[in-house]
Each structure stands twice: as C-alpha cells, then as structure tokens.
Amino acid sequence: MRFRLLGPLVVDGPGQPLRLDGKRPRAVLALLLMEAGALVRVEQIIDAVWGDAPPRTVRTQVHVQISVVRRWLRALPGAGIVTHATGYALQVDPSDIDVGMFRRLVRQGRTLAASRQPVAAAESYRAALQLHTGPPLGDIDAPFVQAAAAGLADEQLSALSALTSLDLAAGRHHELIPVVSTLVERHPLHEPLWCHLVTALHRAGRRSEAIRCYHRARLLLREELGVEPGPELTAAYRALLGIDPVAADGPDLARTLSRLAEAERMLGEIRQQLSRLGVDVQAVRPGSPAAPSAPLLPSDGGAGHAEIAA
C-alpha cells in the first residue's frame, strides 16, 4: 500500500515516505483518496476543505492545491489526477489505499465466516484491523474529517465486534474479558460489545458480573437512546438466566424480562443495604435463616472488574 489514511496521512514513495507539506493540499489529497476513482466536484472540494466561509478566490485556490498534489504524485507511477469539466478524479489502484484494503479484508472475513471457515475469517479480520495505526485521518485539518473519520471508526468497531464473535466461538472468553471491558468503556452505546461481554463473563463462570453487566447496558441504552436491548443482548441475558429460548418466545417475553431485570436490580440494592448494616449476605439463605453460608464463588464480588460492577 502506498496511501495510508487509517491513522496519520502517509504516502509511501520509492524507498521512503513522501514529504507532504501544507494543510490544504494534504486535505485535498485525503479527500480524493477517500473518493478514489470517483468524480469529486469542485463545489464538493470547497465545502469539504474550506467549509462554510470560503474566500472569494477559492476556485483559484482549488486549482493551485490540485497542482501541488499532482506534483507529489509524480513520484508514484500509476497514480494521477484526471481533470473533468466539473471537478477531479484520483486514478489509483484501490489496493494501494489502506481503506480499500481494509474493506476488502472485512468482506473476505464476512464471506469466510458465512461459509463456516472461522479460523480463516478471523485471520482476515485481524489483518484488516492491523491496518489501523491511530485515529483515522488523524492529522488532517478540514471540515470533512469529523464525519469521514467517524465512519471509518465505525467500520473498525464493526470488524472488531465480528472478530470478537469468532473468538468467543473458539472458546477464548477468558482472554477476551479484559479487552471487551475496555472497549465498552470507550464505546458504551455499542450494543454488540455489551453482548460479547455478557457472554464472555457467563462462559467464564462469572454469572453475577454478567448480570450486572447486562443491567448496566440496559440502563445506558434506555437513558441515552430510549430503547430496550435488542434480540442478541436479550438472548445472551436469557441464556444467563437459564431461560428456554423456545418456551420463552411469546407475547409476554419482554414483560417477563423487564420484571426479571427489575427483580435483579432490587436484590442488588437489598444486598448493598445489608452489607452497609454489617450483615453477612452470603449467610442469608432463602427459607433457612440459620443455614451456614455457602463458599464464595469466583463469580461473586466482581473481583477484577470494578468498572462492570459499578
């Protein structure tokens, strides 16, 4: 690859990276790379690079910046800018751009996963994710960058979520827990990540943490987006509670899960109040107040994952 956008803008010339100076020509090149092969109208360039208040001479400045980029590209055979009546198009092999390579590897991973080749699919996703070297378009200063970078970051997160699904299926839940715990802190409204964390905790035998994790996700989704958990996160919670997915599929399922969630929340509050009063909550057993306390399970207490229990 000769053009890198999944991090700072880098153009690899023969033997070493090309020196690309200047805020505006770098922004113009980044924009043309994002739209490689397609016609980018002059008006699009103005809006993307100069924003809402361009100078009166902006069209002349567009031509000047295009000339600067053309000079940079002379060192790269097979790459060039074609002039059209209404704009410009960057002609370059898509495999020379890391964004195009990333998307090709993600499509390949999706196809391999659908054809039941999980190991090869995971390798494709990992190769795609390794192309990210930092925040996309991280050193480009132009109005179009925020939306473009957010879109590229969303694609990265979707690929990471797909890879996590494959790793969970391969039994790597223990090693995934700290990784996914960090990811949900960075992306708290990305529901698939919460689903992966609930599943990983459940499979690792950390049931109480998984329950708290689900409730935290549900509360965030309700408060921030006004929605209830989707079918995948709901299914993970059902599995956690040991609910038969076939028997539970009925018109009252949502109401039942809502009541279970509320009951779990109330039980958690009761345990906290008892603990503050100095009562050993482990010694309190249903129907047998004097029964000896059961040994503490690894899943109780949330050791090592205070951010989930919070």
**Residue 307 vs residue 238, higher pLDDT:** 238
Q: How confident is the model at residue 270 (pLDDT cuts 50, 70, 90)?
A: low
**pLDDT tens per residue across span 20-40:** 899 999 999 999 999 999 999
Listed residue (87, 97, 86) closest to 33, CA to CA: 97
d(C-alpha 48, C-alpha 174), whole Å: 45
- Flag whether pLDDT at 287 surpasses 70: no
Question: Rounded CA gap, 139 and 27, in Å?
Answer: 9
Residue 271 is predicted with a pLDDT of 64
Which pLDDT score, from 0 to 100, does residue 310 have? 31
> What pLDDT shows up at residue 242?
83
Determine the pLDDT at residue 254.
53
Q: Tokens at residue 46, please?
A: 């103005």
Query: Which domains, ranges and CATH numbers included, belong to the chain?
Result: 1-170 (1.10.10.10), 171-310 (no CATH)
The better pLDDT of the pair 197, 269 is held by 197
- Residue pair 86/44 in contact (Cβ under 8 Å)? The answer is no
> Which residue type occupies 191?
E
Q: For residue range 189-198, what is the model confidence (pLDDT) as tens digits?
A: 999 999 999 9
- Longest Cα–Cα distance of the chain, Å, equals 88
* Proportion of the chain above pLDDT 70, given as a percent: 78
- The pLDDT, as a whole number, for residue 13 is 81
User: Which candidate, 76, 5, 77, places its Cα nearest to that of 35?
Assistant: 5
What is the reported pLDDT for 171? Answer: 94
Q: How far apart are CA 256 and CA 245, in angstroms?
A: 13
The rounded distance, in Å, linking the Cα atoms of 139 and 10 is 10
What b/e readout covers 177-186, taking b as 16+ CB neighbours within 10 angstroms? beebbebbee
Residue type, 44: Q
Residue 15: predicted pLDDT: 76
Query: Looking at the predicted structure, is the pLDDT value of residue 243 above 70?
Result: no
When pLDDT is cut at 50, 70 and 90, the band that residue 240 belongs to is confident
What does 6-45 look like in DSSP terms, one character per residue? SSS-EEB-SSSBPP---HHHHHHHHHHHHTTTS-EEHHHH
Cα pseudo-dihedral 118, 124, 125, 129, rounded to 10: 160
Indicate the length of the chain as a whole number.
Answer: 310
Confidence of residue 222 (pLDDT cuts 50, 70, 90): very high
pLDDT digits (tens, 9 = 90+) for 121-175: 999 999 999 999 999 999 999 999 999 999 999 999 999 999 999 999 999 999 9
Q: Are 68 and 22 in contact (CB under 8 A)?
A: yes
Determine contact, residues 80/91, Cβ cutoff 8 Å. Answer: yes
Banded model confidence at residue 18, pLDDT cuts 50, 70, 90: confident
* Rounded Cα–Cα distance for residues 233 and 228 (Å): 10
Cα Rg of the chain (Å, integer)? 26
Give the pLDDT of residue 31: 97
Note the pLDDT of residue 17.
84
Which sign does the torsion angle of CA 30, 26, 140, 138 carry?
positive
Mean pLDDT over residues 238-266, rounded? 59
The span from the CA of 36 to the CA of 93, in Å, is: 9
Q: What is the pLDDT of residues 301-310, one digit of tens each?
A: 333 333 333 3
Going by pLDDT thresholds of 50, 70 and 90, the confidence category of residue 75 is confident
**pLDDT, the chain, mean:** 84
